C-alpha cells in the first residue's frame, strides 16, 4: 500500500472516529479471523498469561539533580502491556523508568514516574486510565506517554472506535494542561509465532491503525512517534536480542530501543530540546505536510515524530514530520517511596 492510499484510509478512519462513524475494517473479515486465530495460538505458545509479571517502577528518578524552588517533573505512562513494561524483570528496564531516567538527565531535574497502564488493555480502557491520571487536580502530569493499539487489532475493535477513545484521552489530558506523546500501534507482523501469509496482514492492519492514531492524536494537540516500524525491522533481524523470553513482548534491549526513540519527542514537548532541532531538516526528509500524509509517512518509517503545525491548509490541518536523533538512555532504579518521603521531610525541616 502506498503512502497516499494509506493516508486516505487513515483519514477515513479518523473522520469516522470524529463523527461517530461505524467500524471501518482494517482488513477483510475472513482474513482477520485467520489472523486472530494465529495470534491467539501465538499467545498460547509464548505463555502470555492472564496474570503477567510487571515490575513496579513508580517512584522518583534523577535524585542527583536539585532545582531550588522547582518541583520534580511528573511523567505518567498509560496504555497496555508495552507501556507497563511486561516482559522484563527489573523496574529500571521498563519503558517508563527508562524515559524517567532520560528525562531527568536532559532536564537536570528529578522526575516522578507514575504508571497506570494495564497489560491486555484496549483503547477503551484509556478513559479509566485518564481518570486515574487526573484524579488529583493538584498533581497534573507535565507529560503523559501513551502506548496502545496492538490489542485493538487482535480484539477486532473497530478502528474508528479505537481512534475515538485515543483522541478523547489526548484531548482530556491536554485540556488539563499535560503534554501528550503517543507511541502508535506496534508492528504485529514481527511476532515470531505468527507465520506468513498472515504476517503481512498483521503488518498492514498495524500500520493503518498507527496512521489513524496519529491523525486523531495530533488533531487534539498531542505528538506521536511511530513504534511499529521502529521496532519491526530490528525485531525481525535480532529476535533473540530484542524480544523477551516469551517472544511476544520486548526484552530490556527492545524497550530501550523504544525509549531512545520516544525520549527526544518527550523532551521537545516540554521545550527541553535545542531550538534548532525543531526546525525541519530537508536532508533528513523532514518538513510540513498535510496531517494525513504525515501520518502515513510516519507509519512507514522508524521512530518518526508527527506534531501539529498549521491549523488549516489547502487540504486541511498540517503537521510537522520529524526524524529526531535518538538519545541513549540508561536503566536506573527508582528510589523507594519511603526514602523519598523521608528526604522531603528532612529537607523541609532544615
Distance CA(266)–CA(322), nearest Å, equals 13
The CATH number of the domain holding residue 300 is 3.40.50.1110
Task: Check residue 13 and give its pLDDT.
Answer: 58
Is 122 within the bounds of a domain?
yes
Low-confidence residues in the chain, pLDDT < 50: 16, 18-27, 45-50, 241-243, 337-350
Mean pLDDT of the chain: 78
Given 58, 63, 124, 246, the catalytic residue: 246
| Range 279-311 burial, b when 16+ CB lie within 10 A, else e | ebeeeeebbebbbbbbbbbbbbebbbbbbbbee
For this structure, is 249 an active site residue? yes
Name the active-site residue from 101, 249, 251, 300: 249
Return the beta strands (E) in 257-325 as ranges.
287-290, 305-308, 318-322
Number of domains in the chain: 1
Residue 246 a catalytic site member: yes
Query: Going by C-beta distance under 8 Å and a sequence separation of 6 or more, which residues neighbour residue 14?
Result: 163, 212, 215, 216, 219, 292
DSSP-derived secondary structure letter, 91: G
Beta bridge partners of 179: 143
Q: Are 286 and 129 in contact (CB under 8 A)?
A: no
Tell me whether residue 47 is in a domain.
Answer: no
Give the model's pLDDT for residue 344.
38
Residue 263 is assigned to a structural domain of this protein:
yes
Q: Is residue 54 in some structural domain?
A: no
pLDDT at 219: 92
Our CA dihedral for 243, 298, 104, 337, rounded to 10 degrees, sits at: -50
Structural domain harbouring 65: 59-323
pLDDT digits (tens, 9 = 90+) for 95-140: 999 999 999 999 999 999 999 999 889 999 999 999 999 999 999 9
Alpha-carbon gap, residue 224 to 218, rounded angstroms: 7
Examine residue 204 and state whether it is found in any structural domain, yes or no: yes
Helices H / strands E in the chain, number of each: 13, 9
pLDDT digits (tens, 9 = 90+) for 232-281: 555 555 555 444 555 556 777 878 888 999 999 999 999 998 776 778 88
Three-class DSSP category at 11? helix
Adjacency order of strands within the sheet including 179-183: 59-61, 111-115, 73-79, 143-147, 179-183, 223-225, 305-308, 318-322, 287-290
What pLDDT, on a 0 to 100 scale, did the predictor assign at position 41?
54
Half-sphere exposure of 116 (CA within 13 A, CB side): 18
Who contacts 223 (Cβ-Cβ below 8 Å, separation ≥6)?
Answer: 179, 180, 181, 182, 217, 265, 268, 269, 305, 306, 307, 308
55: Cα separation from own chain's centroid? 18
Whole-angstrom distance, CA of residue 309 vs CA of residue 304:
15
Q: Which pLDDT score, from 0 to 100, does residue 3 have?
A: 56
All residues at 6 or more sequence positions from 270 whose CB lies less than 8 Å from its CB, including other chains = 73, 103, 107, 142, 143, 179
Task: Report d(CA 206, CA 210) in Å as an integer.
Answer: 6
Q: Is residue 27 part of a domain?
A: no
Q: What is the pLDDT of residue 339?
A: 40
Instruction: Answer yes or no: is 207 within a domain.
Output: yes
Rg (CA), the chain: 19
> Which candidate in 81, 101, 167, 251 is catalytic?
81
Distance CA 78, CA 186 (A): 15
Residue 343 is assigned to a structural domain of this protein: no
Amino acid at each position: 500500500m502506498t503512502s497516499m492510499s494509506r493516508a486516505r484510509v487513515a483519514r477515513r478512519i479518523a473522520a469516522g472516529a470524529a463523527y461517530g462513524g461505524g467500524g471501518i475494517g482494517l482488513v477483510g473479515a475472513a482474513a482477520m479471523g485467520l489472523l486472530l486465530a494465529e495470534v491467539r495460538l501465538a499467545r498460547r505458545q509464548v505463555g502470555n498469561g492472564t496474570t503477567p509479571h510487571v515490575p513496579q517502577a513508580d517512584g522518583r528518578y534523577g535524585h542527583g539533580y536539585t532545582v531550588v524552588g522547582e518541583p520534580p517533573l511528573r511523567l505518567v505512562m498509560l496504555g497496555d502491556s508495552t507501556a507497563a513494561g511486561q516482559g522484563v524483570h527489573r523496574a529500571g528496564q521498563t519503558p517508563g523508568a527508562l524515559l524517567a531516567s532520560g528525562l531527568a538527565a536532559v532536564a537536570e531535574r528529578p522526575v516522578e514516574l507514575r504508571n497506570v497502564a494495564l497489560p491486555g488493555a484496549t483503547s477503551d480502557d484509556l478513559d479509566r486510565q485518564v481518570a486515574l491520571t487526573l484524579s488529583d487536580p493538584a498533581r497534573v502530569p507535565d507529560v503523559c506517554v501513551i502506548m496502545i493499539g496492538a490489542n485493538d487489532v487482535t480484539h477486532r475493535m473497530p478502528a474508528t472506535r479505537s481512534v475515538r477513545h485515543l483522541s478523547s484521552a489526548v484531548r482530556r489530558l491536554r485540556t488539563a494542561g499535560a503534554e501528550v506523546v503517543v507511541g502508535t500501534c506496534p508492528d504485529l507482523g514481527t511476532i515470531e509465532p505468527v507465520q506468513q501469509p498472515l504476517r503481512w496482514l498483521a503488518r498492514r492492519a498495524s500500520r493503518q491503525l498507527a496512521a489513524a492514531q496519529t491523525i486523531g492524536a495530533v488533531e487534539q494537540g498531542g505528538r506521536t512517534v511511530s513504534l511499529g516500524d521502529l521496532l519491526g525491522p530490528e525485531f525481525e533481524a535480532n529476535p533473540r536480542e530484542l524480544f523477551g523470553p516469551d517472544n511476544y513482548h520486548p526484552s530490556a534491549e527492545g524497550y530501550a530501543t523504544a525509549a531512545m526513540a520516544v525520549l527526544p519527542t518527550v523532551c521537545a514537548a516540554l521545550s527541553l530540546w535545542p531550538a534548532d532541532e525543531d526546525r525541519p531538516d530537508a536532508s533528513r526528509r523532514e518538513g510540513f505536510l498535510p496531517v494525513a500524509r504525515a501520518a502515513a509517512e510516519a507509519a512507514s518509517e522508524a521512530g518518526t515524530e508527527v506534531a501539529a503545525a498549521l491549523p488549516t491548509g489547502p487540504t486541511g490541518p498540517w503537521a510537522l514530520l520529524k526524524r529526531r536523533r535518538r538519545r541513549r538512555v540508561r536503566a536506573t532504579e527508582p528510589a523507594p517511596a519511603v526514602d523519598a518521603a523521608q528526604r522531603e521531610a528532612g529537607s523541609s525541616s532544615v
